[in-house]
Amino acid sequence: MHYDLLDAGVRRRLERFGAHIIDRPAPGADGFRLAPGQWVNADLRFDAGSGWSGPAWPAEPWPVEIDGLTMELRPTTSGGLGLYPEHAANLAWLAAQVGAQVSAGAADGAVPQVLNLFAHTGLATLAMARAGAAVAHVDGARAAVAWARRNAELSGLADRPVRWLVDDAAAFAAREARRGRRYDGIVLDPPAFGRADGREWRLEEDLPALLTACRTVAAPDAFVLLTAHSESVDGTVLAAMLRSAFGGRSQSMEVVPLDLAATSGARLALGWAVRRGS
Ligand SMILES: C[S@@+](CC[C@H](N)C(=O)[O-])C[C@H]1O[C@@H](n2cnc3c(N)ncnc32)[C@H](O)[C@@H]1O
C-alpha cells in the first residue's frame, strides 16, 4: 500500500500518500508527536483558514495504490484528498462477504447486488466490484461520482457492473424500497453533515430513518458495513442503531475501531465500523 501514517499529534497528522508527504489537521490527534523531526519533510500542508500550501503546491492529481486498487488523489478545498485510508481496513472483509455471496449464487449464476451509499471516490465500490458484485454506487456530489469512475478506469475495473448514481442517499434508498429492490449487501459511510440535491444530511437526525430504509431493501441474509466518524457517536451506539433497524437476527455483528497506527508509534482514532456479516 502506498500509504503510511508517519506521525500524529498536536491535532495534526503527517502522512505519506505515494509521491507526497502531507501535514493536515486531525482533531482526534490529541497526544504528543513521536517523530517531531519528520514534519519538515511535508511537501503539502493544509490549514483550515488559509488552505493548501507547501513546496509541492499546487499539486497535479497523482495516483496511490491501496490494496491493488489505483486511486487518484487531489487536494480538495476542504482539506481532503479523495481517500480515507482508514477504510482500507474494511476491504478484505467486504471482499470476503462478496466472495461468499458469489459462491452461494454460483450454481444459478446469480451476481450479488450491493448498495454503496455516500460512496465518495469509490474505494469500497471498486473492492466489491473486483470481488464479483454488481454495485449501485450512490453519492450526492456529481464530482465525487466522476472521480470514482476515473478510479475505476485507473484500477482496470471500468467494465464491471457498477451503476454510477448522483443522488441523495436517503431519497435513493426510499425509492429503491418503493420499487421493491433487494440488495445482498449494503455499505454506508455517512458524513456527520452533508448536502445533496438541496437536502441536508445530519448524522444524528437522519441515520435512524436511513437504516430503516436500508432494512427494507436488504435481502434476509444481507451483509452491512456502517462506518461513522462523528465524535458524538461511538461504535457501541452505532451497533445498537444497526441492531434496532435490522432486528435481533442471529448474524454476527462486530464493532471495529477505525484507528491508524503511525510508523512513529503514535495512534490516530478516526471513528468506528460496525460489520454485520451475512
Ligand atoms: C464518504 S462520506 C464522508 C465520510 C468520511 N469518511 C468522514 O470522515 O466524514 C462523504 C461523501 O458523502 C457524500 N454525501 C454527503 N451528503 C450526502 C447525501 N445526502 N447523499 C449522498 N451522498 C452524500 C459526499 O459527497 C461525499 O462523497
- Using alpha carbons only, give the angle 55, 59, 65 rounded to the nearest 5 degrees: 115
Residue 167 inside a domain? The answer is yes
Same domain, 55 and 174: no
Q: Over range 150-165, report the average pLDDT.
A: 98
Same domain flag for 109 and 225: yes
Share above pLDDT 90 across residues of the chain, in percent, rounded to a whole number: 86
When pLDDT is cut at 50, 70 and 90, the band that residue 1 belongs to is low
Q: Is 112 in the pocket of ligand 1 (CB under 6 A)?
A: no
Does the C-beta of 225 come closer than 6 Å to ligand 1? no
Residue 26 sits in the same domain as residue 57: yes
Confidence of residue 233 (pLDDT cuts 50, 70, 90): confident
**C-alpha 265 – ligand 1 centre gap (Å):** 30
Of 33, 48, 73, the residue at which a domain comes to its end is 73
33 shares its domain with 161:
no
Cβ atoms < 10 Å from Cβ of 170:
20
- The fraction of the chain above a pLDDT of 70, given in percent, is 98
User: What is the model's pLDDT at position 120?
Assistant: 98
CATH number reported for the structural domain that contains residue 103 in this entry: 3.40.50.150
Could you read off the pLDDT of 18-35 as tens digits, one per residue? Answer: 999 999 999 999 999 999
Q: Is residue 149 part of a domain?
A: yes
Q: Which residue has the higher pLDDT, 105 or 187?
A: 187
**Cα of 104 from ligand 1 centre, angstroms:** 32
- 184 CB near ligand 1 (under 6 Å): no
* Same-domain check for residues 211 and 116: yes
**What number is the average pLDDT over the span 201-224?**
94
CA distances from residue 232 to 21, 31, 192, 202, 236 in whole angstroms, order as listed: 30, 20, 9, 12, 12
Q: What is residue 232's predicted lDDT score, i.e. its pLDDT?
A: 75
Q: Which atom, in ligand 1's list, is nearest to the CA of 144?
A: 27
The phi and psi torsions of 218 (rounded to 5 degrees) equal: -90, 135
46 and 183 in a common domain: no
Residue-level pLDDT at 200: 87
What local confidence, expressed as pLDDT, does residue 20 receive? 98
Q: Is 79 in the pocket of ligand 1 (CB under 6 A)?
A: no
User: Does 230 have pLDDT greater than 60?
Assistant: yes
Single out the residue in 73, 99, 121 at which a domain terminates: 73
CB 140 within 8 A of CB 166: yes
Which secondary structure element, helix H or strand E, spans residue 203, and what is its range? helix 203-217
Question: Could you give the residue ranges of the DSSP H alpha helices within 58-141?
Answer: 91-105, 123-130
> Is 248 exposed, middle or buried (CB count within 10 Å of its CB: 0-12, 13-18, 19+)?
exposed
Q: How confident is the model at residue 171 (pLDDT cuts 50, 70, 90)?
A: very high
Residues 118 and 213 in one domain: yes
pLDDT at 251: 59
Q: Which residue bears the cell 497528522?
A: 13
Indicate whether 259 belongs to any domain: yes
Is 178 in the same domain as 267?
yes
Long-range contacts of 215-219 (CB under 8 A, 24+ apart): 215/245, 215/246, 215/247, 216/173, 216/177, 217/115, 217/173, 217/176, 217/177, 217/181, 217/182, 217/183, 217/186, 218/182, 218/183, 218/186, 218/246, 219/182, 219/183, 219/184
Same domain, 92 and 7: no
Q: How far is the CA of 191 from the centre of ligand 1 (A)?
A: 5
Number of domains present in the structure of the chain: 2
Return the CATH number at 49. 2.60.40.1180
Ligand 1 close to Cβ of residue 183 (< 6 A) = no
> Would residue 80 count as lying in a domain?
no
Mean pLDDT of the 70-85 span: 97
pLDDT at 253: 87
Last residue of a domain, one of 52, 73, 94: 73
Pair 52, 89 in one domain: no
According to the model, what pLDDT value does residue 249 have?
Answer: 57
Confirm whether 208 is domain-assigned: yes
Residue 78 is assigned to a structural domain of this protein:
no
Closest ligand 1 atom, residue 86 Cα: 6
Instruction: Give the residue numbers spanning the domain of 267.
Output: 85-276
Query: In this structure, is residue 79 part of a structural domain?
Result: no
CA of 161 to the centre of ligand 1 (A): 22
**pLDDT single digits (tens) 246-268:** 876 545 789 999 999 999 999 99
Closest ligand 1 atom, residue 121 Cα: 27
Whether residue 28 lies inside any domain: the answer is: yes
Residues 226 and 109 in one domain: yes
From the centroid of its chain, how far is CA 185? 15
